[in-house]
Structure formats: C-alpha cells, structure tokens
Amino acid sequence: MVIGLGRFGSSLALELTRRGTEVLAIDSNAKTVQHLAGSITHVATADATDLEALRQLGVPDFYRAVVAIGTGLEASILTAALLVEMEIEDIWAKAITKQHGQILRRIGVHHVVFPDNDMGERVARLVSGRMLDYMQVDDDFALCKTRPPREYVGRPLGESNLRRKYGVTVVAVKSPNEDFTYATADTELSYGDVILISGRTDDVERFAELP
Ligand code: ATP
C-alpha cells in the first residue's frame, strides 16, 4: 500500500506495479488518482487521516505500507499513527526533515527514508569527485563505481594490499566493451577499466580521490 501519490509516492507505486507487486495506492486528490488509474493495480481517493476510510479500503489487512506524504507534515504523522494503531507489520514513511523522521520513528514507523536528503548527498559526492556512481548501503558502508588509481594499474590485486592500506575491497572490474566480472587476487587493473569498490564510507571516498 502506498499512501500519498506525489512525485515520490507515484514513482514508487508505478515501479512496484512494474515489478509485478499488487499495489493499493491512496491519495486525497481525486485528480491525482484519476491520472494514475489504469497504471496501478488499485487506486483510491481517500483521506488517509480518516480511520473509517482506511478501514473501508481494507487497509488493516495489508502487510506492508509506505506513507509517501512529505510536506503535509500533520497528514504524514496522523496517517503513520493510524497504521501503527492498525498493527500493520511493516511500515515505511518518507520524512522531509530530521525532526519529522524522529517523530515518525517514535510513533512506531519501522523504516524512515529521506529521499530528498539522500539524493542530495549522493549527487554531491558524484559532482565533487571522481566517482561514477555511489550507493550507501548502511550508515557507514558504501559501494562505489570509479576508475582505478594510477598506482594500482598493471599489477595483480593480490599484491596491492588495498584492503590493509585503504580499507577497501575491489569487488568487480569492467574493461571497455566488456561486462563486469568479479575481481580475484590475480585480476590486473588497466587504464580505462571501471571498478566497483566497497568499504567504510570515509575509506571509499578517500580511495576514489586517488589520482
Ligand atoms: P513529492 O515530493 O513526493 O511530490 P511531497 O513531499 O511534496 O510530495 P505532499 O505534497 O505533502 O508531499 O503529499 C504527497 C501526496 O500526498 C499528494 O499527492 C497529496 O495529495 C497526498 N496527500 C496529502 N495529504 C493526504 C491525506 N491526508 N490523505 C491522502 N493523501 C494525502
């Protein structure tokens, strides 16, 4: 179930539908709902802060819900509180600010996401450095697509001591016009390769800045 079909909620509901998940999408704006009808399995116009309306839609039977209302702070919190009250097992919610996120967590939301902040941080890393792509997989752990530093070109990874020296692991390598393959101790990096590295956020950033 996805509640709130703004840019974030509608993208989410459409992507879930594309992946074959049956979705109930709810928004209080009839025009928004009309626009998405046909593209998402079930779409309904309802005020998600209205307990009776949620009951009528069968919301208590759902296992997983995402509250994708952001700027409407009051509606976001009230909706999340109703879902907690209904004992929905897995509740996700989008937060706009840190305080919003804290409130959502306190009332019992299981997962809080900050799409605007996360995307801003990610883009900052990409535009300011040499990273080609970046994904934070945990609070202090990241995956990064980058180019091999000069120092490590032309010798096997097994001899490079990368993990000891920089705390990063080369997970996979892609040579021009080839697919990614897993890196082994015998893999030799070349200029023009693209590598996928993993490690603690700071270590990954430091390594990606090497010339
Ligand atoms: P986005 O950035 O994803 O476009 P947003 O963070 O600006 O959205 P809002 O505009 O607050 O978030 O809300 C997103 C959607 O949630 C809107 O389509 C709005 O109609 C819907 N919405 C707001 N309040 C309610 C409510 N009480 N019940 C159901 N839907 C609601």
The answer, yes or no, to whether residue 113 has pLDDT greater than 80, is yes
CATH number of the structural domain spanning residue 16: 3.40.50.720
Residue 115 CB less than 6 A away from ligand 1: no
Structure tokens belonging to residue 52: 């009776």
Read off the pLDDT of residues 9-62 as tens digits, 9 standing for 90 and up. Answer: 999 999 999 999 999 999 999 999 999 999 998 999 999 999 999 999 999 999
Is the pTM higher than 0.85? The answer reads: no
Proportion of the chain above pLDDT 70, given as a percent: 100
| Mean pLDDT computed over 87-108 | 96
Minimum-distance ligand 1 atom for the alpha carbon of 50: 27
Q: Determine the distance separating the centroid of ligand 1 and the alpha carbon of 116, expressed in angstroms.
A: 15
The answer, yes or no, to whether residue 112 has pLDDT greater than 80, is yes
Query: Both 101 and 155 in a single domain?
Result: no
The answer, yes or no, to whether residue 106 has pLDDT greater than 90, is yes
Query: Both 106 and 128 in a single domain?
Result: no
Question: Could you give the number of structural domains in the chain?
Answer: 2
CATH number of the structural domain spanning residue 194: 3.30.70.1450
Query: Both 84 and 185 in a single domain?
Result: no
Q: Determine the distance separating the centroid of ligand 1 and the alpha carbon of 111, expressed in angstroms.
A: 18
Q: Which of 94, 113, 132 is the last residue of a domain?
A: 113
Q: Which of 95, 113, 131 is the last residue of a domain?
A: 113
Query: Both 194 and 154 in a single domain?
Result: yes
Query: Both 107 and 68 in a single domain?
Result: yes
| Mean pLDDT computed over 80-91 | 97
Read off the pLDDT of residues 166-198 as tens digits, 9 standing for 90 and up. Answer: 999 999 999 999 999 999 999 999 999 999 999
Query: Both 172 and 204 in a single domain?
Result: yes
Minimum-distance ligand 1 atom for the alpha carbon of 79: 27
Q: Scanning the structure block, which residue is given the tokens 């992946």? A: 19
Query: Both 94 and 134 in a single domain?
Result: no
Query: Both 44 and 124 in a single domain?
Result: no
- Band (pLDDT 50/70/90 cuts) for residue 116 is confident
Query: Both 10 and 63 in a single domain?
Result: yes
The answer, yes or no, to whether residue 70 has pLDDT greater than 90, is no
Which neighbouring-strand residues pair with 56? none
Residue 76 CB less than 6 A away from ligand 1: no
- Band (pLDDT 50/70/90 cuts) for residue 126 is confident
**CB < 8 Å & 24+ apart, contacts of 92-100:** 92/64, 92/65, 92/66, 92/67, 93/66, 93/67, 93/68, 94/4, 94/8, 94/9, 94/66, 94/67, 94/68, 94/69, 94/70, 95/70, 96/70, 96/71, 100/73, 100/76
Q: What element of type H or E holds 52?
A: helix 51-56
Structure tokens belonging to residue 64: 């997983």
The answer, yes or no, to whether residue 129 has pLDDT greater than 80, is no
Q: Which of 113, 128, 155 is the last residue of a domain?
A: 113
- pLDDT score for 44: 97
Domain housing 98 = 2-113
Q: How many CB atoms neighbour CB 44 within 10 A? A: 17
Query: Both 68 and 137 in a single domain?
Result: no
Q: Determine the distance separating the centroid of ligand 1 and the alpha carbon of 3, expressed in angstroms.
A: 8
Query: Both 89 and 125 in a single domain?
Result: no
Query: Both 61 and 145 in a single domain?
Result: no
- pLDDT score for 124: 81
